[in-house]
């Protein structure tokens, strides 16, 4: 029933240099777990990365990779001809930073254990709007962030981070953003409380950092998401913050409604 409810949306036309066969091979590769694959019906990695025009020869900077859901796809896709940088996000909130440490250790160990897959991945940090661990000054083709904007708003880091992304990209480079989408008019406090961000907020702040909006996609839209839950977006899968309370209802809704936006750093 969930698969029918979340039918794959129309495929965005890929860039001429996107390699669909190579991308499909990375998505179907043995490095991905069954648990990760089960989320493809909500996250649409092939369509999303095609919309962000990620090619096998791209240099890509992924921000706050978490458990590495997209790393498991980007690593093999970029291994032979591209480059993948992973920036772990250092939150100014000390308690959150401490909670993240065990996950980061596991992430680093997993990359080190599979050099044939992740041997072309460099891990660094993003702290207070600055990168550490790799060059990030007009040197990358793509900066990608998946469901992180709401955290940076809460931490007061959104504008500093967007400026860092702009500085990291080559002229003509692309910033790809996927984020939980709030209804227009949602207040900043509601965003902090629920995790849902308005498209207008993201677009306005990206433009303030110097970016131009180059495309919008509904590839990760979910019209069943009513965005009014006791635990905000974290009521939904995969988090289920409310435990068993309403779990069947949330499972039927699926993962959040998400904006998918492509920004460009002007070449001028």
* Phi and psi at residue 246, to the nearest 5°: 70, 15
pLDDT in tens, 98-112: 667 778 888 999 899
List the one residue out of 114, 35, 24 whose CA is nearest residue 73.
24
Residue 57 lies in a domain: yes
Count of domains forming the chain: 1
Residue 233 lies in a domain: yes
At residue 95 the predicted structure's pLDDT band, cuts being 50, 70 and 90, is low
Residue 94 lies in a domain: yes
Which is more confident, 200 or 119?
Answer: 200
Residue 258 lies in a domain: yes
Per-residue confidence (pLDDT) for residue 91, from 0 to 100: 85
Residue 10 lies in a domain: no
Mean pLDDT of 192-214: 98
Whether the pLDDT of residue 58 is over 90: the answer is yes
Which parts of the chain are beta strand (E)? Answer: 59-63, 83-90, 121-127, 130-132, 140-146, 169-180, 212-217, 258-264
Residue 134 lies in a domain: yes
Tell the residue number behind the tokens 């967007």, with chain if given.
162
Mean pLDDT of 172-189: 98
Residue 18 lies in a domain: no
Per-residue confidence (pLDDT) for residue 6, from 0 to 100: 41
Does the predicted TM-score (pTM) go above 0.95?
A: no
CATH number at residue 143: 3.40.50.150
Per-residue confidence (pLDDT) for residue 148, from 0 to 100: 97
Task: Quote the domain boundaries for residue 234.
Answer: 35-264
Give the chain's mean pLDDT. 92
Per-residue confidence (pLDDT) for residue 268, from 0 to 100: 74
């Amino acid at each position: 029933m969930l698969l029918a409810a979340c039918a794959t949306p129309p495929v965005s036309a890929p860039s001429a240099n996107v390699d669909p066969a190579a991308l499909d091979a990375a998505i179907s590769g043995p490095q991905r777990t069954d648990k990760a694959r089960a989320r493809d019906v909500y996250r649409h990695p092939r369509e999303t990365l095609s919309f962000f025009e990620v090619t096998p020869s791209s240099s890509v900077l992924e921000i706050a990779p978490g458990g590495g859901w997209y790393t498991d796809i980007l690593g093999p896709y970029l291994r032979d001809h591209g480059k993948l940088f992973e920036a772990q996000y250092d939150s100014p909130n000390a308690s959150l930073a401490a909670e993240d440490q065990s996950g980061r250790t596991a992430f680093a160990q997993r990359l080190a254990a599979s050099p044939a897959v992740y041997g072309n991945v460099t891990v660094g940090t993003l702290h207070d709007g600055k990168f550490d661990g790799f060059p990030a000054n007009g040197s990358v083709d793509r900066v990608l962030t998946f469901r992180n904007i709401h955290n940076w708003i809460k931490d007061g880091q959104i504008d500093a981070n967007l400026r860092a992304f702009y500085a990291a990209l080559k002229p003509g480079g692309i910033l790809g953003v996927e984020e939980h989408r709030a209804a227009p008019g949602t207040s900043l406090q509601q965003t902090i409380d629920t995790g849902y961000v308005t498209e207008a907020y993201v677009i306005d702040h990206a433009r303030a950092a110097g970016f131009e909006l180059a495309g919008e996609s509904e590839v990760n839209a979910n019209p069943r998401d009513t965005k009014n839950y006791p635990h905000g977006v974290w009521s939904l899968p995969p988090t289920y913050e409310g435990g068993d309370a309403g779990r069947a209802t949330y499972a039927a809704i699926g993962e959040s409604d998400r904006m998918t936006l492509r920004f460009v750093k002007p070449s001028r």
